[in-house]
Amino acid sequence: MNEQALTQLLEAVRSGKLTVEHAIDRLRHMPFEDVGFARVDHHRAIRCGFPEVIFCPGKTPQQVCSIFQCLAERGGNVLATRADREVYKAVQASFPAAQYHETARAITLRQGAAPQPAGHIAVVAAGTSDLPVAEEARVTAEIMDQKVTTHYDVGVAGLHRLLAESPTLQQANVVVVAAGMEGALASVVGGLVAVPVIAVPTSVGYGASFGGLAALLTMLNSCASSVSVVNIDNGFSAGYIAAMINRRTARSEGGD
């Protein structure tokens, strides 16, 4: 939709020929911006609730910067995942306010004050080695304007550590659990809370863990009915889904 078409759409709303609801439906399908090597989806936030996210591996720093700029110019928050410091330095040169989250390997740019979210997401990690994935989930949820509490190094080998966190976990609207090795933590958490549990198998463990496959299979075979599973090391998707659940839950509790 070009400027002329957008003007006509807004004029139709102002004159009463088109309802606001119908106009929003049309806006949901507005076009992308073609920058040659990428087609940046500028209206994903309208359709999905958050702008397009940049996955950095396979892209040059210059390509990431170009996409980052396209997104930032629209005024929304920007998230780039799996970024190294070289990419961050390139982004920071144009956007000094951009933040690099070392453990999460993510770059964020917040534009505008964060709202006060209702409810919270609990992010749980079995061990310190699982923190890159857990932190990716946390950073993703927070740049999506959600409140997050973290509960790290509470694996099943020392169950008392997890039980000490139970009161906060039980108050969350959704729980993200990142665990490697045998991946049993997600099932244990699922037996403690009455909310959805998003399990993230990590590629942490010795040889027979098969790069996270053992944890993935354990989580898929969980006896806790509340557990759903994302792909190995996919903290981003876990954080994104958790943010959507928390946002929807908060709206429901608010009577919207």
Q: What is the DSSP string of 123-143?
A: EEESSGGGHHHHHHHHHHHHH
Given this model, what pLDDT does residue 105 score?
97
The alpha-carbon radius of gyration of the chain (Å, integer) is: 20
At residue 256 the predicted structure's pLDDT band, cuts being 50, 70 and 90, is very low
Alpha carbon distance 31, 2 (integer Å) = 9
Angle (CA) 218-223-228 rounded to 5° is: 65
Given a contact cutoff of 8 angstroms between Cβ atoms, the answer to whether 180 and 232 are in contact is: no
What dihedral angle (degrees, nearest 10) is formed by the CA atoms of 211, 214, 220, 221? 180
CATH 3.40.50.1970, the chain: domain bounds? 121-253
Span 10-64, pLDDT tens digits? 899 999 988 988 888 777 656 777 788 888 887 788 788 888 999 999 999 999 9
Q: Which fold has domain 121-253?
A: Rossmann fold (3.40.50)
- Separation in Å, CA 169 to CA 31, 148, 149, 184, 219: 41, 11, 9, 17, 19
Span 113-155, pLDDT tens digits? 777 778 899 999 999 999 999 999 999 999 999 999 999 999 9
Q: Are strands 121-125 and 174-179 parallel, antiparallel or unpaired?
A: parallel
**Percent with pLDDT over 70 in the chain:** 94
Given this model, what pLDDT does residue 36 score?
87
Alpha carbon distance 178, 129 (integer Å) = 10
Contact partners, residue 198, CB within 8 Å, separation at least 6? 174, 175, 176, 177, 228, 229, 230, 238, 241, 242
Span 204-246, pLDDT tens digits? 999 999 999 999 999 999 999 999 999 999 999 999 999 999 9
Given this model, what pLDDT does residue 9 score?
81
Span 62-89, pLDDT tens digits? 999 999 999 998 888 999 999 999 999 9
What angle separates helix 3-15 from helix 20-27, to the nearest 10 degrees? 160
Given this model, what pLDDT does residue 29 score?
58
Alpha carbon distance 65, 60 (integer Å) = 9
Alpha carbon distance 67, 182 (integer Å) = 38
255 pLDDT above the threshold of 80: no
* Helical (H) or strand (E) element with 107: strand 106-109
Residue 67 CA, distance from chain mean position: 18
b/e for 140-157, b at 16 or more Cβ within 10 A?
Answer: bbbbbbbbbbbbbebbbe
Identify the DSSP state of 108.
E
